[in-house]
Structure 1
Amino acid sequence: MNLSLADVAYLTSDAGTAALAEVAEAPLTDRVAEISALRARHGERTPALVETTLLRRRAAAKGLGEPHWLYTDEALQQATAGPVAAHRAARLAGRAAHDATCSVGTELAALAPVAGPLLGSDLDPVRLALAAHNLTGAALLCRADALAPISRDAVVLVDPARRSGGRRRFDPSSYQPPLDAVLDVYAGRDLVVKCAPGIDFAALADLGFAGEVELTSWRGSVREACLWSPGLAQPGVRRRASVLDRDETLTDADPEDCAVGPVGRYIVDPDGAVVRAGLVRQYATRHGLWQLDPNIAYLSGDTVPAGMRGFEVIEELPYSERRLKSALAAADCGPLEILIRGLDVDPDALRRRLRPRGGDPLTVVLTRIGAGPSARSTAFVCRAAIS
């Protein structure tokens, strides 16, 4: 549902706060019966109360906000997960900052303990009202268009909307506001822009972006790409991968003199942020690993980096379904995980065709090794191992 300013006024009133506390006790699993009972008590306010309760539960799972915070569904979908926002804020410690697309205030809340003074602006009056409630005076708020600058001598943060009608926008020029317009308007300013993790690096170059692109992962998932203008980037760094689960950072300025060789005891699949940032060789060099193929992100080594999941190789064989099925049967394969890079194979369809029926959980790593006429499709039958 779309909250109105009247809804916000009610939800932030004493009566609304009390009603939210009551609804928070409801499981909200049997929606028909529970909502009917709530509607009998709260009438037309019920949808806003239920929606807010469910959004608060989702926000908690993202590590966002405080129990009293209010959200809209779209704002919560776009909000940065708490640890990711805190990581970004740490890079801006001590700086004045202007969040030009502040929405309900999640980025400003992350900045408040380390940066300031803070300014937040947005075009949506409902989101600004929610931000005013959520931030309780931590930032000055005003209504303004992100493409009409209202600040100076402050780092500008912009988080363009990348969804429309529930669908993702993949073209940076279709972001709201468009990325090319943001880069043009704030040219020469210290600027931070949150983008989709799949953004095309070549497209950024075409737009004239000359700063640093940081890929950040949390809980095993790549959460975002963040653009840092040249004044905020580390000298000599154009790409960075930040793996928050392991407090590890790599950049394209790190050593990358890793070897290419045959498989060792383990196969290691680097974190998605490392792969997406194009820093696989740097990761391999840091951890004493080598590449199976110079163009494929799978690595190998005789140990698994601390905190990483690796795959102990049981058997290597030329890939064909017949050979693989026979090898899995001989290994008493039961639950089967299939990882693929460099081959056009549907893992779910392949798993159905292989029909493993044993008791031993195994992993199959399928990849291409070599290029041109000498390229070969290879299967590695493995057991998962965690360092």
Structure 2
Amino acid sequence: MVLQRHDHRGQTVLTFGRDDVTYLGSDAGAAALAEVARYPLTDASRLPDVAAIRARFGERSVALIETTLLRRKAVAKLGELADVSGWLFTDEALQQATAAPVARHRAVRLAGAVVHDATCSIGTELAALRSSVAVLLGSDIDEVRLAMARHNVPDVVLCRADALHPVTRDAVVLLDPARRSGGRRRFDPSAYVPALDGLLDAYRGRATVVKCAPGIDFEAVRHLGFDGEIEVTSAGGSVREACLWSAELATPGVRRRACVLDRDEVVTDADPDDCLVGPAGRWIIDPDGAIVRAGLVRHYAARHGLWQLDPDIAYLSGDHVPAGVRGFEVLDELPLREKVLRHALAQHDCGQLEILVRGVDVDPDALRRRLKPTGNTAISLVITRIGSGAGERTAAFLCRPSAAAR
């Protein structure tokens, strides 16, 4: 029976039981889900829709409605990975499930291997891996999620096991410790479930791939004894995860890697990093978040013939914009004084104002409200710190965004 609880924001969270999974995976459950799927369940129709579903399905209505809504959310996140229209989910499992482009990328790196997904949850990674690896096994300690995985990927061998107690040998072990509880993100690796230090200890000397939050402290990971490659991946314009590839799987000579899946670009710390520092040229470039998070801004700049505005700030400049990258054509450099900025924006007929900030304590939304642009032209304001000590200054660059940035 589905149970209800509340997360840290006071919002209702539903918890599935084994009987719910059994019912939802049965012929009767499939027929009921098909019927519920015909209801729009939008904000405007939800009350009468829920009332009608309850009248028809009684105590099963909660599980049916939740599954229907989760399937609709899953299409955008996982639709490229598999046909998820018939999958079963929990809300937290769907939130943590790897986005399709990232899962496919990992499957390519693991092609031909024997892989054990020891925290398989509802089966997302298994769906990505099953067509590319030599042998595949999934396991999880959560019996509800494991039952959902059996429904979602019935062609994969599954068993119930605790990830902290290895049950395989000579296999690459994929680990995805839970980083959410009650809707709240866990940022401390020791608060992961299982904890990251416990996982690293349990599989010391084994070939492992461990998914982590993108904001994880790299130095803290090294202090735990990890000596492999840290890969930061972005897709859809957002940084999705940091992934720890053990030394057995890492590319020789590479300790940090950034993968920008949207344009199939890879930057590593083995690349040249001979990047100059200088005043703004024609363009300012804001590197992808994966490159910034991986600490590979200089390597990226050297590859594309760009330079830094400041050695400690991620904004780059150059006379061209790399293909597919957002760029900002510099129209003017101004001091960070609101009267000066307001006058310059009016001169350029600014109406749509984007404000980007690095290294300066400025609230972009609050500043935008105070500047009150009323024109018709899209303008970007890039605000950054330049220099340090006695020579430190704040610069505001009035820019025209390139087509890729609009």
Which TM-score band (shorter chain)?
A: over 0.9
1:15 aligns with 2:28: yes
Aligned partners of 1:339, 1:98: CA distance in 2, in Å?
A: 43
Aligned to 1:274: 291
* Correspondence list, 1:56-205, <5 A: 56-64=71-79, 65-66=82-83, 67-137=85-155, 139-205=156-222
What is the CA-CA distance between 1:17 and the residue it aligns to?
0.9
Aligned partners of 2:302, 2:381: CA distance in 1, in Å?
A: 25
Aligned residues: 386
Aligned-partner SS, 2:139: strand
Contact 1:12 1:133 in 2 (8 A): yes
After superposition, the C-alpha distances for 1:14-51 in whole angstroms (9 at most, x for unaligned) are: 11111111222221111110011111221211111111
Aligned-partner SS, 1:62: helix
1:304 aligns with 2:321: yes
What is the CA-CA distance between 1:187 and the residue it aligns to?
0.3
Contact 1:304 1:386 in 2 (8 A): no
* Correspondence list, 1:293-372, <5 A: 293-372=310-389
Aligned partners of 1:74, 1:262: CA distance in 2, in Å?
A: 47
The percent identity for this pair of structures is 68
Contact 1:308 1:386 in 2 (8 A): no
Segment drifting more, 17-26 vs 83-92:
17-26
Aligned to 1:38: 53
Q: Could you list the runs of 5+ residues in structure 2 that have no partner in the other structure?
A: 1-13
What is the CA-CA distance between 1:260 and the residue it aligns to?
1.3
Aligned-partner SS, 1:278: coil
Instruction: Spell out structure 1 runs of 4+ moving beyond 3 A.
Output: none
Aligned partners of 1:57, 1:264: CA distance in 2, in Å?
A: 46
After superposition, the C-alpha distances for 1:149-187 in whole angstroms (9 at most, x for unaligned) are: 100000011101111221111111111101011111100
Aligned partners of 1:45, 1:93: CA distance in 2, in Å?
A: 41
Aligned partners of 1:90, 1:24: CA distance in 2, in Å?
A: 34
Contact 1:333 1:358 in 2 (8 A): yes
Give the letter aligned to residue 86 of structure 1: R
Contact 1:94 1:115 in 2 (8 A): yes
Aligned partners of 2:339, 2:389: CA distance in 1, in Å?
A: 24
After superposition, the C-alpha distances for 1:287-324 in whole angstroms (9 at most, x for unaligned) are: 12111111110011111111111111111112222222
Aligned-partner SS, 1:327: helix
Q: TM-score, normalised by structure 2?
A: 0.93
What is the CA-CA distance between 1:116 and the residue it aligns to?
3.0
What is the CA-CA distance between 1:360 and the residue it aligns to?
1.3
What is the CA-CA distance between 1:126 and the residue it aligns to?
0.8
After superposition, the C-alpha distances for 1:245-275 in whole angstroms (9 at most, x for unaligned) are: 1011110001111221111111110000000
Aligned to 1:26: 39
Q: TM-score, normalised by structure 1?
A: 0.98
Aligned partners of 1:46, 1:278: CA distance in 2, in Å?
A: 49
Structure 1 386/286 Cα, relative in aligned 2: closer, same or farther at 3 Å?
farther
What is the CA-CA distance between 1:83 and the residue it aligns to?
1.0
Aligned-partner SS, 2:163: coil
Q: Could you list the runs of 5+ residues in structure 1 that have no partner in the other structure?
A: none
Aligned partners of 1:27, 1:306: CA distance in 2, in Å?
A: 41
Aligned partners of 1:318, 1:282: CA distance in 2, in Å?
A: 30
Segment drifting more, 311-320 vs 144-153:
311-320
Aligned partners of 1:276, 1:353: CA distance in 2, in Å?
A: 31
Give the letter aligned to residue 157 of structure 1: L
Aligned partners of 1:63, 1:17: CA distance in 2, in Å?
A: 20
Aligned to 1:52: 67
Contact 1:90 1:114 in 2 (8 A): yes
What is the CA-CA distance between 1:63 and the residue it aligns to?
2.4
